[in-house]
Amino acid sequence: MLEIKNLSKKYKNSNYYSVKDLNITINDGEIFGFLGKNGAGKSTTIKCLTGILPFEEGTIKVCGYDIAKEPIKAKLNIGYVPDNHAVYENLTGKEYVNYMGNIYRVPKQQIKQRLDEFASLFNMTGAIERQIRSYSHGMKQKICIIAALIHNPKFWVLDEPLMGLDPQSTAEIKSYMLEHKKKGNSVFFSSHNIDMVEKLCDRVAIINHGQLMEIIEVEKFVNESPVSLEEYFLDLTKENRAKVITVSQRKGNRRRGHKADKEEKK
């Protein structure tokens, strides 16, 4: 479903890598969590894999399509829910979902059918004709989710999907994550809610300073670990466990590695 190989991303005018040599593979029919402290590189990674940000090194494939070489085909398989509710607030919920459906080339009849289904599922039927500017935080989150799912994507990507939601809305979204998985699709989401990640995810990746620290099989971890996932996460993301990598350090490491390779060949 997703294959990230040696991804590195550095923002313009920065001497530091936001993400460095990241490798992650997500299987079909899997819910995959993404954990890290603020500034660890979670949102940067998500923006790279959804095609929002370019990246300097590495490859990203979604459903076999390279996001850099075949961006349209890759994006047609992605449903992305950002963490900032970036919507056109002067539109009604229905108008916004129809607009997104048209972008993703969904036939009008299918848009109507799916919109009715999702509006009912997320308790939005009574609000779908209202302007988005009148929505609460939770309603804006749910209309973003409906818009992200309107084209029936195989790969659902969410950046902090449950932040600030009430328990009912949280339960609705968690339930559909599991439903999406049952259909053989995959869910990839970042979160600070470690308890939720532990209950929902098949596997979870932990990053620190843009570096992958570990990928954990959740069920095995819960059954075998003497500490909780939260305790393990806090220990793994201590400042001394991963260092910020500068551009000069990376180049130096490469030169040293190249020299060592030559010496080894001799």
Whether the CB-CB separation of 35 and 190 falls below 8 Å is answered with yes
Q: Is 179 left (phi over 0), alpha (psi -120 to 50) or beta?
A: alpha
Are residues 57 and 185 located together in one domain of the fold?
yes
- For residue 176, being part of any structural domain is answered with no
- For residue 7, being part of any structural domain is answered with yes
pLDDT tens for each residue of 37-59:
988 999 999 999 999 999 989 99
Sign (positive or negative) of CA dihedral 118, 200, 197, 65: negative
Low-confidence ranges of the chain (pLDDT < 70): 86, 164, 240-266
Are residues 66 and 91 located together in one domain of the fold?
no
> At how many degrees (to 10) do helices 137-149 and 167-182 cross?
10
Give the 3-state secondary structure of residue 6.
Answer: strand
pLDDT score at 228 = 92
pLDDT score at 192 = 87
pLDDT score at 162 = 74
Are residues 66 and 162 located together in one domain of the fold?
yes
Spatial distance between the Cα atoms of 66 and 64, rounded to a whole number of angstroms: 7
Are residues 73 and 188 located together in one domain of the fold?
yes
In this structure, how many other beta carbons lie within 10 angstroms of the beta carbon of residue 180? 21
Closest CA to 55 of 23, 15, 11: 11
Domain enclosing residue 226, as ranges = 2-77+158-166+181-265
pLDDT tens for each residue of 107-131:
999 999 999 999 998 889 999 999 9
Which helix (H) or strand (E) segment is 255 a member of? Answer: helix 247-265
Are residues 50 and 109 located together in one domain of the fold?
no
Are residues 104 and 146 located together in one domain of the fold?
yes
pLDDT score at 265 = 42
- For residue 53, being part of any structural domain is answered with yes
The DSSP bridge partners found for residue 35 are 206
Closest CA to 144 of 212, 60, 87, 210: 87
Q: What is the pTM for the complete model shown? A: 0.84
pLDDT score at 111 = 96
The DSSP bridge partners found for residue 4 are 24, 60
Domain of residue 9, CATH code? 3.40.50.300
Count the domains in the chain: 2
